[in-house]
């Protein structure tokens, strides 16, 4: 849930300031930085490192990215029709499917799904919990983590648990720098915003430009120093000490949806991850003169068959691998191709005495990146643990459910012992909120998650 402010977007005016910042990039690469003067006494901070510059670019990209819609999408507070242009990423907590853009699902997958009127982007609407409007979307934590270069999406409650995140000593607008966060998980609302611009008058901060994912779409809004300080009764200023590790791959200079395959498209869009337990379904957009389809797996032909007269091709559940599919005609002329990866994922969880919980994992074609505890009734991720190289070599991640951690997430009376009964039946049981384990795996096409654990599988207790 986001806190709403009475601020207009003023997108064009705000991005004029960002363009001023962007003009400093060449100087930055040569070791520059500092402030960009506009008139006597008035300056706009410019990024002092490439990590900060990439952060600004990523925020700008998520706010400016535009898609031409070929179908209708609707959710509370917004409705779009075929033929409309959707500017910015729509706000949607896709925590059930874990299809957050662009952290876990690439811009290409998102845009290609929007180019297909029968894709999941138009036809699957979760509506299973708060703010779960659309199959693809972004939320504030996704926005912030992507800007900072953090692989996994973290919740507002979990921000302080991210290595490198720390509280800024002086909580005041005068402390604000490009890349700083304003985060809250207080008084019934949670939200995080990213600073992408600071304006000064003779060195004194007068305005801060904050970017965010909020309902209905990603945006930037400017606050006077006084307005910003008024929010600090709920918000905390944070900084990320690993921003120099930030990387960036430009979407496009125009932030526009390019033209993609017009003959066929997977329901999830191009270059998406699928699990071995999912039916891979392909939409036939325009059969044209093509008669057959060909599916390749890891560079070799896997199957071929007639396209038929239907509008979809259900390839059913496929073994793990990297796939390519295209149409051919009688003269063996080929259409453009689409790609996807079917991911092999395995997870077991053992609860040990002393509060230690071990996530064991394996995959033939993906890299584990994180494990977590989440509530399947509303899909809220409560505890996230990043998996490092040492964990991957061992094949497991040992985590700890401490009394303090559990209390921070609303659990009282926890005695520090993580048993199967504790995790499934004692804690988070109000309204069916039994916590479940999940693992996240990464491929070149993004991040995918395992199915939810249940009472009957994926977990054992060792005394």
Over the chain (463 residues), the average pLDDT of each successive run of 10 is 34 53 47 56 92 94 91 76 91 84 92 94 74 85 93 73 90 98 82 96 96 92 97 94 91 58 96 95 97 98 97 98 97 96 90 74 94 68 81 91 58 53 43 66 93 48 36
pLDDT value, residue 453: 53
Closest CA to 187 of 144, 141, 155, 233: 233
pLDDT value, residue 345: 93
pLDDT value, residue 454: 46
Q: What is the distance in angstroms between the CA of the first residue and the CA of the last residue of the chain? A: 39
Q: Quick one: 316 exposed, middle or buried, by C-beta within 10 A (0-12, 13-18, 19+)?
A: exposed
pLDDT value, residue 151: 82
Q: Starting at the earlier edge strand, list the strands of the sheet with 300-306.
A: 272-275, 338-343, 321-328, 292-297, 300-306
pLDDT value, residue 244: 94
pTM (two decimals): 0.84
Distance CA 361, CA 358 (A): 10
Antiparallel, parallel or unpaired: β 204-212 and 189-201? antiparallel
Distance CA 91, CA 112 (A): 18
Dihedral sign of CA atoms 161, 166, 172, 174 in order: negative
pLDDT value, residue 132: 72
**Protein fold of 264-343:** Immunoglobulin-like (2.60.40)
Residue 308 region by backbone torsions, left for phi larger than 0, else alpha for psi between -120 and 50, else beta = left
pLDDT value, residue 202: 94
Q: What is the assigned CATH class of domain 346-462?
A: mainly beta
pLDDT value, residue 284: 98
pLDDT value, residue 385: 82
CATH 2.60.40.10 in the chain, residues? 264-343, 346-462
Angle at 223 (CA atoms; ends 219, 226), nearest 5 degrees: 155
pLDDT value, residue 413: 57
Whether 139 contacts 131, CB under 8 Å: yes
């Amino acid at each position: 849930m986001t806190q709403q402010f009475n601020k207009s977007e003023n997108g064009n005016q705000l991005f004029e300031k960002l363009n001023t910042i962007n003009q400093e990039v060449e100087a930055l690469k040569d070791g520059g930085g500092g402030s960009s003067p506009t008139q006597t006494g008035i300056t706009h901070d410019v990024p002092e490192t490439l990590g900060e510059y990439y952060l600004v670019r990523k925020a700008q990209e998520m706010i400016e990215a535009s898609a031409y819609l070929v179908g209708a999408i609707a959710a509370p507070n917004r409705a779009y029709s075929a033929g409309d242009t959707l500017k910015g990423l729509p706000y949607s907590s896709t925590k059930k499917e874990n299809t957050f853009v662009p952290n876990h699902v690439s811009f290409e997958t998102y845009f290609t799904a929007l180019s297909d009127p029968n894709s999941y982007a138009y036809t699957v609407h979760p509506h299973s919990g708060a703010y779960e409007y659309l199959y693809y979307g972004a939320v504030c934590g996704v926005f912030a983590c992507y800007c900072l270069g953090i692989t996994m999406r973290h919740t507002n409650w979990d921000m302080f648990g991210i290595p490198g995140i720390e509280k800024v000593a002086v909580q005041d607008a005068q402390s604000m720098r490009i890349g700083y966060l304003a985060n809250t998980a207080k008084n019934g609302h949670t939200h995080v915003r990213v600073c992408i611009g600071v304006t000064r008058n003779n060195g004194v901060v007068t305005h801060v430009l904050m970017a965010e994912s909020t309902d209905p779409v990603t945006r930037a809004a400017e606050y006077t120093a006084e307005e910003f300080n008024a929010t600090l009764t709920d918000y905390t200023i944070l900084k990320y000490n690993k921003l120099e590790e930030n990387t960036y791959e430009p979407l496009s200079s125009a932030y526009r949806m390019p033209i993609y395959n017009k003959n066929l498209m997977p329901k999830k869009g191009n270059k998406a991850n699928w699990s071995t337990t999912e039916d891979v379904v392909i939409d036939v957009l325009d059969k044209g003169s093509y008669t057959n389809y060909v599916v390749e797996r890891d560079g070799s032909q896997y199957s071929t068959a007639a396209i038929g007269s239907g509008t979809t091709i259900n390839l059913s559940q496929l073994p793990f691998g990297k796939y390519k599919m295209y149409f051919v005609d009688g003269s063996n002329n080929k259409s453009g191709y689409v790609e996807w990866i079917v991911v092999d994922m395995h997870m077991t969880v053992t609860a040990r005495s002393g509060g230690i919980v071990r996530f064991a994992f394996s995959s033939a074609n993906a890299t584990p990146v994180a494990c977590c505890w989440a509530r399947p009734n509303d899909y809220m991720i409560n505890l996230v643990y990043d998996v490092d190289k040492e964990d991957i070599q061992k094949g497991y991640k040992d985590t700890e459910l401490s009394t303090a951690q559990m209390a921070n997430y609303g659990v009282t009376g926890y005695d520090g012992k993580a048993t199967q009964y504790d995790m499934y039946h004692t804690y988070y049981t109000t309204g069916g909120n039994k916590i479940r384990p999940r693992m996240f795996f990464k491929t070149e096409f993004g991040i995918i998650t395992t199915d939810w654990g249940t009472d009957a599988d994926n977990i054992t207790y060792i005394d």
